[in-house]
Structure 1
Amino acid sequence: MNINNIHNVYFIGIGGIGMSALARYFVANGKIVAGYDKTKTDITEALVDLGVKVHFEDSVNNITAPFLNAETTLVIYTPAVPKDHKELNFFKNNNYEVLKRSTVLGEITKNTFCLAVAGTHGKTTTTSILGHLLYQSNVEVTAFLGGISENYNSNFILNGTKVTVVEADEFDRSFLTLSPDMACITSMDADHLDIYGEADELKKSFVEFSKKIKPNGKLFVKSGLPIKGITYGIEDDSDYSVQNIKIINGSYEFDVKTPTQTLHNFKFNLPGRHNLSNALIALAMSVEYGIPQQQLATALASYKGVKRRFTYQIKTEDLVFIDDYAHHPEEINAVHQAVREMYPNKKVLAIFQPHLFSRTRDFADDFAKSLSQFDDILLLDIYPARELPISGINSEWLLTKIKNNNKKLIQKSELISSIKQSNAQVILTIGAGDIGEEVKHIKQALSVAS
Structure 2
Amino acid sequence: MTTYHFIGIKGTGMSALAQILADSGKQVQGSDIEDYIFTQTALEQKNIDIYPFSVANVQQGLTVIAGNAFKDDHPEIKKAKELGLPFFRYHEFLGEWLQKYISIAVTGAHGKTSTTGLLAHVLDCNVPISYLIGDGTGKGSEESEYFVFEACEYRRHFLAYKPDYAIMTNVDFDHPDYFKDIDDVFSAFQEMANNVKKGIIACGDDEHLQSIQAKVPVLYYGLSEGNDFCAKNIQVTEQGTTFDVFVRNDYYDTFEINTFGDHSVLNALAVITLCDYENFTSAQIKEIVSFQGVKRRFSEKEVGSQILIDDYAHHPKEVEATIEAARKKHSNREIVAIFQPHTYSRTKTFLHEFSDALSEADAVYLCDIFGSAREAQANLSVQDLQDLVPNSKKLDFDTIDMLKQHQDGVLVFMGAGDIQKYQEAYENV
Match of 2:397 among 400, 406, 412: 412
In the alignment, the residues of structure 2 paired with residue 76 and residue 49 of structure 1 have an alpha-carbon distance, to the nearest angstrom, of: 21
Question: C-alpha distance in 1, partners of 2:335/2:314?
Answer: 18
CA contact (8 A) 1:314 1:443 kept: no
Q: How does 1:399-438 map to 2 (within 5 A)?
A: 399-402=386-389, 404-405=390-391, 407-415=392-400, 417-423=401-407, 425-438=409-422
Q: Confirm or deny that 1:329 pairs with 2:316.
A: yes
Cα 1:424–1:383 shift into 2, 3 Å: farther
Query: Could you state the TM-score of these two structures normalised by the residue count of structure 1?
Result: 0.88
Does the C-alpha gap of structure 1 residues 159 and 254 become closer, same or farther in structure 2, counting only changes over 3 Å?
A: farther
Q: Which moved more, 1:188-197 or 1:124-133?
A: 188-197
Aligned-partner SS, 1:142? strand
**Could you tell me how far 1:337 is from its partner in structure 2?**
1.5
Deviations 1:185-217 (CA, angstroms, capped at 9, x unpaired): 101110112112222111100000001011xx1
- Residue 259 (structure 1) shift: 3.5
User: In the alignment, is the contact (CA less than 8 A) between 2:344 and 2:378 conserved in 1?
Assistant: no
Aligned to 1:375: 362
Cα offset for 1:245?
1.6
Contact 1:117 1:185 in 2 (8 A): yes
* Other-structure match for 1:365: 352
Q: Which residue of 2 aligns with 1:141?
A: 129
Asked if the contact 2:303–2:427 (Cα under 8 Å) also holds between the matched residues in 1, the reply is: no
Give the 3 Å change call, closer, same or farther, for CA 422–251 of structure 1 in structure 2: closer
In the alignment, structure 1 residue 50 sits paired with structure 2 residue 46: yes
Corresponding residue number in structure 2 for 1:109: 98
Q: Is the 8 A contact 1:354 1:382 kept in 2?
A: yes
Give the alignment of 1:3-402 within 5 angstroms.
Answer: 7-38=2-33, 39-56=35-52, 58-61=53-56, 63=57, 68-69=59-60, 72-137=61-126, 139-147=127-135, 154-156=137-139, 158=141, 160-214=143-197, 217-223=198-204, 224=207, 225=209, 226-228=211-213, 229-259=218-248, 261-297=250-286, 299-314=287-302, 318-402=305-389
Contact 1:353–1:433 (CA under 8 A) maintained in structure 2: yes
Alpha-carbon distance change, 157 to 242 in structure 1, aligned in 2, over 3 angstroms: farther
The 3 A distance-change label for structure 1 pair 292 and 443 is farther
Cα pair 1:131 1:157 within 8 Å, conserved: no
- Change over 3 Å in CA distance of 1:102–1:289 after alignment to 2: same
Preserved CA contact (<8 Å) 1:352 1:378: yes
Structure 1 unaligned blocks of 5 or more: 1-5, 149-153, 446-450
In structure 2, relative to structure 1, the CA distance for the partners of 1:300 and 1:391 (3 Å cut) is closer
Give the unaligned 5+ runs of structure 2. none
Task: Using the TM superposition, give the Cα deviation of residue 423 of structure 1 relative to its aligned residue in structure 2, in angstroms.
Answer: 4.1
More displaced 10-residue stretch of structure 1: 336-345 or 353-362? 336-345
Kept in 2: contact 1:380–1:412 (CA 8 A): no
The verdict on how the C-alpha distance between 1:339 and 1:303 changes in structure 2, with shifts beyond 3 A counting, is: same
* Structure 1, 247-256 or 169-178: larger mean CA deviation: 247-256
| 8 Å Cα contact 2:240-2:259 kept in structure 1 | yes
Count of matched residue pairs: 420
Distance 1:88 1:414, change over 3 A: farther
| 322-331 or 336-345, which deviates more | 336-345
Amino acid at match of 2:317: E
In structure 1, C-alpha distance between the alignment counterparts of 2:383 and 2:221, rounded to whole Å: 40
CA distance in 1: counterparts of 2:234 and 2:418, whole angstroms? 36
**Whole-angstrom distance in 2 between the partners of 1:387 and 1:175:** 19
Answer whether contact 1:213 1:219 (CA < 8 A) is retained. Answer: yes
TM-score w.r.t. the length of structure 2 is 0.93
Secondary structure class of the residue paired with 1:427: strand
What residue identity is the alignment partner of 2:118?
I
C-alpha displacement at 1:441, in angstroms?
A: 4.3
- Residue type at the aligned position of 1:108: W
Tell me if structure 1 keeps the 8 A contact 2:20–2:131.
Answer: no
Partner amino acid, structure 1, of 2:259: L
1:408 and 1:34 map into 2 onto residues whose CA distance is 44
Q: Return the alpha-carbon distance in structure 2 between the equivalents of residues 105 and 75 of structure 1.
A: 13
My pick for the range that moved more, 169-178 or 241-250, is 241-250
- Whether the aligned pair in 1 keeps the contact of 2:236 and 2:260 (CA below 8 Å) is no
Structure 1 CA distance for aligned equivalents of residues 428 and 362 of structure 2: 23
For residues 392 and 143 of structure 1, the distance between their equivalents in structure 2, rounded to whole angstroms, comes to: 41
Q: CA distance change for structure 1 residues 32 and 88 in 2, over 3 Å: closer, same or farther?
A: same
2:104 aligned counterpart, secondary structure: strand
- Separation in 2 of the partners of 1:367 and 1:386? 22
Alpha-carbon contact 2:23-2:140 (below 8 Å) kept:
no
Question: Which has the higher mean CA deviation after the structures are superposed, 387-396 or 370-379?
Answer: 387-396
